[in-house]
Every structure is written in structure tokens, then in C-alpha cells.
Structure 1
Amino acid sequence: MNIHLPRADVAEQTLAIIDEFKGLEGPLLPILHALQDEFGYVPQESMPVIARELNLSRAEVYGVLTFYHDFREHPAGRHVLKLCRAEACQSMGGDRLADRAKALLGIDFHETTPDGEVTLEPVYCLGLCSCSPSAMLDGEVHGRLDDAALEALVEEVRR
């Protein structure tokens, strides 16, 4: 992941990614995914390049970027904790668990701890409805969470 590239390099890599996907029908989402895979987020410097190359307005590009919860506009922390916010998890105590996670980390959703270690994100279904409430930590899913299990996850990433 190349997070701290000079502006010209970001534009250059953005162009290379656009060239790779430009021939697809509806290339914007694959381009945004590829940029996030490359940088860990979608850099602001990429927006005008995407808009120009796809003949879209910057507002259209930004609208798509902000509509989907998986895209980030800023680098994430070293660890990403995603809490399921879907109905099944909410009905099994997901709201209380989310409040607990926010309190333990001292941040809200879409924020990163001041030390850059943990980003907290909502996710709208991990497919573990029968094991709710659930979370995903760095790509690994965890079901049937309670306060103790959540605290263990947070402790794991805080070490």
C-alpha cells in the first residue's frame, strides 16, 4: 500500500488504474476499488483525474465514493474494526455493543484512534445473522459477540 506518495505519483498511478478498467462497462466502481486496494483509501487527488478520464463531473465521482460505506477518503488505522449494523445484529444487542466499542476506543464510526491504530466502521451485514451480533476485525469475522468478546478484540489491537 503506497499511502504517502507525492501528488504527481498519485495522479500517475490513478491514470494507470483507469487505463486498466476504462474499457469495462461502468468502470467507476472497479476503479475506486482498485484505488482503495492500492492506497488504502481513495485519494482526493484521484477525483479530478477520474472525472476527466471518464467524462464525469467531480460531483458524480464524489457522490459514488461517499454513497458506498466501504470506500474511504482518508487512510485507515493499522487495524479496522467493522461492527455489523444490520437488523439481526441490532436486535441482538448490536447498538449496545457499538456504544461499548466507541467508548473503549474513544472514537465514533468512520474515525481512527489518535494513535492511528484502529479505525471503527459500520458494516451493513456480514452474513452472520444467526451468530449476531457480529464484527469483522482486519478481515476476520467474529460472531456471538458480547462485552467480554468485544473487549478482547479491542485489547488485541491495542497491544
Structure 2
Amino acid sequence: MTTENTLETVATVVAAHRHLPGALMPILHAVQDALGYIPATAVPSIAKALNLSTAEVHGVVTYYHHFRSQPAGQHVVQICRAEACQSMGAEQLWAHACVRLGLSGDHPGTTADGAVTLEPVYCLGLCSSSPAMVVDAKLHARMSIPKFDRLVAQARSAA
């Protein structure tokens, strides 16, 4: 998508949501839904439309883990790193995922081939069935390293 098309999409989203109280969050969610991420080129126009500084909008985008500033891979894998999941092995699962996907544990992201994006999340609401993970918006409970490998392989082969 070209920068011009991106900005047209952002303008459409802003026009549809700017009247809402606290419109910034609905706009950011809608932009990410439409584009898959919130491009840096969108921040100034969102800020101007809401009479905010670009720093305020950028701060919200970077504060919340849900928002991406880069396009995601074909498949998005989110591993819960909250306390309940940690106590059931999520940190080992996270470490394995980083190694398996060739990503840094401190700065997860997208695999070199663009197939998989790995993201941390902090509670998926499956505490009693931890560790938990999401693959392409589908929840998975009682995760293990072999189950992770199988799910990621299935996602990659489905592409």
C-alpha cells in the first residue's frame, strides 16, 4: 500500500471516529485493524485531527503492547508472559519461541522471511490453563514446547 493510500485510509478512519469521546484509542484500533499496524506517517494526521501533539499520539502507540508500528508477519503468535503463565513455564516457552524463530528475546519481532511475528502479551484470561498463547487470533491453553512447534508449523504450512 502506498503512503498516499495509507493516509487516505487513516483519514477515513479519523473521520468515522473523531466525534467519539476519547477518540484516540478507537482511532488507533481502527487504523491497526485496517492497515495491520500504525505507520509513523499516520501519527501527525491523527494528532492534528484530534488537536493533540504528535508526541502524545506516539506515546500512546508505543505505550500499549497491542499497537504495532511495523507491519506484522503473515502469522501473529502471542505468548502470555503474566505471572500465572510464568509460573507454569511461559518463560521457557518464550525462550524456545525466540530461538526457534531466530528472534532476540529482548526485542521480539518478525522472522526474516516475514512469516511469523512473535509478541508478548500480559494476560489472555486463561490463567487456570496456563501457559497460554494465541496464534492468528485463536487461543491455545496448556502450551508446551512441542505444541508450540506443531502450531507454528501448521500456521506456516497454511500460508
TM-score (norm 1): 0.93
Instruction: Judge conservation of contact 1:43–1:73 (CA < 8 Å) in 2.
Output: yes
Q: C-alpha distance in 2, partners of 1:95/1:145?
A: 12
Q: Point out where structure 2 has 5 or more consecutive residues left out of the alignment.
A: none
Superposition RMSD in Å: 1.1
Structure 1 gap ranges (5+)? none
Q: Secondary structure at the match of 1:16?
A: helix
- 1:102 alignment counterpart: 98
2:45 match: 49
Matches within 5 A, 1:1-159: 4=1, 6-108=2-104, 109-159=107-157
Is 2:126–2:132's contact at 8 Å kept on the other side of the alignment? yes
How many residue pairs get aligned? The number is 155
**C-alpha distance in 2, partners of 1:110/1:34?**
24
Q: What CA distance in whole angstroms lies between the structure 2 residues aligned with 1:102 and 1:25?
A: 39
Q: How big is the shift at 1:56?
A: 0.6
- What percentage of residue pairs aligned between the two structures are identical? 48
SS at the partner of 1:149?
A: helix
Paired with 1:10 and 1:154, the residues of 2 have a C-alpha distance of 30
Question: How many Å apart are 1:154 and its aligned residue?
Answer: 2.1
AA partner of residue 141 (structure 2): G
Check whether the contact 1:104–1:154 (CA below 8 A) recurs between aligned residues.
Answer: no
Aligned to 1:83, what secondary structure does the other structure show? Answer: strand
2:70 partner SS: coil
Matched-pair contact (CA < 8 Å) for 2:98–2:108? no
